[in-house]
Chain A
Amino acid sequence: MAGSRMRSPLGRAIGLGSAKEGVDHWWAQRITALALVPLVVWFVISVVGLASAGADLPMLAAWVGYPLPAVLLILLVVATFYHGALGLQVVIEDWVAVEGLRLGLIITVKLAAILLAVLGIFAVVKISFTG
């Protein structure tokens, strides 16, 4: 690597680069993207099927009452908000130059993603157990 001559031995050993967080963000974005590929295909087919059949509440509750749809919905919610928060973070880092505002927005996005994901998970669990 041509760039390795420019780095201190300690910096190279820690391996976190100038952003101080290594490739964790990049990897997490790719892993959640990979997880979302089958989940989104399954979700779109399921929702179009539900909508075509009327999508009333008893039907939805019966569907979410099965273990597999419930678990896949939870995984979809987790992967969606994880992936979305990572993506929005990059958008904010690129486009918001004021440091305080940038940090505030990133924290807001992450907390909102956690709130929405937990809301979604709880909703799925409640529908699944109570109908």
Chain B
Amino acid sequence: MTSDRRPLSPHLQIYRWQLTSALSILHRFSGIALSAGSLLLVWWLVAAATGPRSYAGVQHFLGSWLGRILLFGWSVALYYHFCNGLRHLWWDSGRGLELPQVYAGGWMVLGATVVLTVVTWIIAIAHWSA
């Protein structure tokens, strides 16, 4: 094994942050977060299949502050990964790869994530106590 003697490219932290690299790593982080969040989906379904007491437990947890923070984080990660995933699929078609388009798409993804998250939670909060 000589892998540790290979020349290294400069470490990441010497590069200036830019929108493109930040959104790229955010896609991976949000994907990891959603993988963890998928446990919540399965827990919810399994609790509902188990019976009223289990379901009441999961509903109680989701209604708690920790549950709401997790749901909020889950929704942000989902909307971001969804929108940026569409951007990736668009790139896969060979389009939108010029630098100005890449930046414009990046800002659109961020804007859409904020709008979708805010709209979802306005609806959720408006109905939560009702």
Contact = CB atoms under 8 A, between A and B. Distances in A.
B78 A126 contact: no
B118 interface: no
A80 B38 contact: yes
A60 B123 CA distance: 19
Contacts, number: 79
B41 A80 contact: yes
How big is the A interface, by class? 20 to 34
Contact of A44 (B28, B88, B89, B120): B120
Given A48-B124, A80-B41, A119-B42, A55 B59 contact: yes
Given A88-B35, A123-B48, A33 B89 contact: yes
B49 interface: yes
A77 to B, nearest CB: 7
A109 to B, nearest CB: 8
Given A30-B89, A48-B124, A57-B55, A116 B48 contact: no
Nearest to A99: B1
A37 B88 CA distance: 12
Interface of B: 3, 28, 31-32, 34-35, 38-39, 41-42, 45-46, 48-49, 52, 55-56, 59, 78, 82, 85-86, 88-89, 92, 120, 123-124, 126-128
Given A33-B85, A40-B78, A116-B42, 6 more contacts: A33-B88, A34-B89, A36-B85, A48-B120, A52-B126, A84-B38
